[in-house]
Amino acid sequence: MASKLIAFVAAALAITAGEASPTAGHNSHKRSCVQIEVPVPIDTTAIRWQQPRVDNNIDAVDWVRFHTTRTTPNNTELMMGRIPIKGTFKITGQLCVPPKGAAARSDILHVATHGAGFDSRYWDAEIKREEYSYVDAALAEGYSIFTYDRLGTGSSEKPDPYDVVQVNIQVEILRYLTELARSGKLVSASKTLGDCPDKRLKTYKPSKIVHVGHSLGSIISVGLITNYPTESDGLIATGFVMTNIPLPGLNLATWGFEYAPENDPVLFGDRKSGTLVPATKSNMQLNFLRKGTFEPALLDYAWKIRQPVAVSEFASLLSGFGTQGALFKGPLHMVVGENDYGACGGDCTGTYDLELIKATYKGAADVDVHIQPKTGHGLTLSTNATAGYQVSFDFLHKSGL
């Protein structure tokens, strides 16, 4: 089981690390966006996991050993009980509406959840935005878009990585953000950071919400539609595919985890026990990029914006899924790089059964898998990224989104 968890982990995770300024630079580019801090009330339970503590690099490597050892108890056996989680967490995000002239779809809101190792900057690379930024591509297509820093990353609150930062808490946060956006109060219920240049933002109320995930963010978004199928009108789950192949158990090890504050005391001095980052830029390359389809500047960027992941996000990867996927009615697009190392062991061709996926989401308006050619796990940081976004947009258009 340990190896199963690991394979899934790598499949699910997107690691990069970075400094806490996810919105820096956005103003250099004329867009109608507002940065906000949303208070998110949570009242649920998390799981207490049996796992080694991580307080230094030696612990971090031992934590990987624990989770990858053949005879380590399986994921279910590592659950030690439930912990009540009640509190309000600050989540930072950015809401953007498209330019007025091109606003044919402005009432459709994309809510994007990034993966492990990144914060919301994953969706909005500050290098050659027109070639990489998902935010720019969505706005150009006429959509509105909300991106946010997952709990524990970027400028969002960073509670306990053992008992609080877990997948099902992230699912509850996404659910709350979705409901707040649907009610038209996303901005008015939040603290505005900086200026709000466009009056449309303050009262923005979408008629439809499409969720977009990457990696762990896809797991969280799938967690949303399988627990609360009516919360979403469509899902694009990227860096994610339901495979039917056994994956090698070494994927967790390829992250090359170190203890975040020891790996970089300047970037991560404020992080707590239980936070992990990939040790080197080469670990980032192995996890996210494939030679031939990335520019070195984007690898440098991924390394610069890398973010720690919480130990219990890995432990809880499989426990956020619900059982109501068949009740989800929107279109579902799974998108994975052909050479995604974590999701498919480096070659996604022939690793999934579309009919099986359709059977799991049998109420969905439309289901498809797109393989982005010659690309690694880090889809938004790879060349030809925007052609891949267009495939998803065209898929949504078929269902009137």
Ligand X SMILES: *[C@@H]1O[C@H](CO)[C@@H](O)[C@H](O)[C@H]1NC(C)=O
Question: Which positions touch ligand X (CB under 6 A)?
Answer: 1, 74, 76-77, 372-374, 384, 387-388, 391
Give the nearer residue to ligand X in terms of CB position, either 1 or 196.
1
**Which residues touch 185 (CB under 8 Å, ≥6 apart)?**
none
Give the nearer residue to ligand X in terms of CB position, either 72 or 94.
72
d(CA 19, CA 321): 30
Least distance from C-beta 389 to ligand X, angstroms? 9
Among 218, 243, 256, CA closest to 345: 243
Long-range contacts of 60-64 (CB under 8 A, 24+ apart): 60/257, 60/258, 60/259, 60/276, 61/257, 61/258, 63/257, 63/276, 63/311, 64/252, 64/253, 64/255, 64/257
Give the nearer residue to ligand X in terms of CB position, either 78 or 209.
78
**DSSP code per residue over 106-138:** TTEEEEEE--TT--GGGGS-SSSHHHH-HHHHH
Give the nearer residue to ligand X in terms of CB position, either 76 or 323.
76
Give the nearer residue to ligand X in terms of CB position, either 72 or 120.
72
Least distance from C-beta 209 to ligand X, angstroms? 25
**Which residues touch 388 (CB under 8 Å, ≥6 apart)?**
335, 370, 372, 375, 379
Least distance from C-beta 373 to ligand X, angstroms? 4
d(CA 322, CA 174): 14
Least distance from C-beta 382 to ligand X, angstroms? 10
**DSSP code per residue over 306-363:** EE-EEHHHHHTGGGS--S-GGG--SEEEEEEETT-HHHHTT--TT-B-HHHHHHHTTT
Dump strand ranges (E) for 54-207: 79-97, 108-113, 144-148, 191-193
71: helix, strand or coil: coil
Least distance from C-beta 270 to ligand X, angstroms? 36
Least distance from C-beta 369 to ligand X, angstroms? 12
DSSP 372: E
Give the nearer residue to ligand X in terms of CB position, either 165 or 371.
371
Give the nearer residue to ligand X in terms of CB position, either 58 or 387.
387
Apex 346 CA angle, 342 and 350, nearest 5: 105
Give the nearer residue to ligand X in terms of CB position, either 207 or 384.
384
CA atoms within 13 A on the CB side of 357: 21
**Which residues touch 182 (CB under 8 Å, ≥6 apart)?**
205, 206, 209
Least distance from C-beta 72 to ligand X, angstroms? 11
Which residue has its beta carbon closest to ligand X?
A: 387
DSSP 279: S
Least distance from C-beta 375 to ligand X, angstroms? 8
Least distance from C-beta 321 to ligand X, angstroms? 13
Give the nearer residue to ligand X in terms of CB position, either 156 or 293.
293
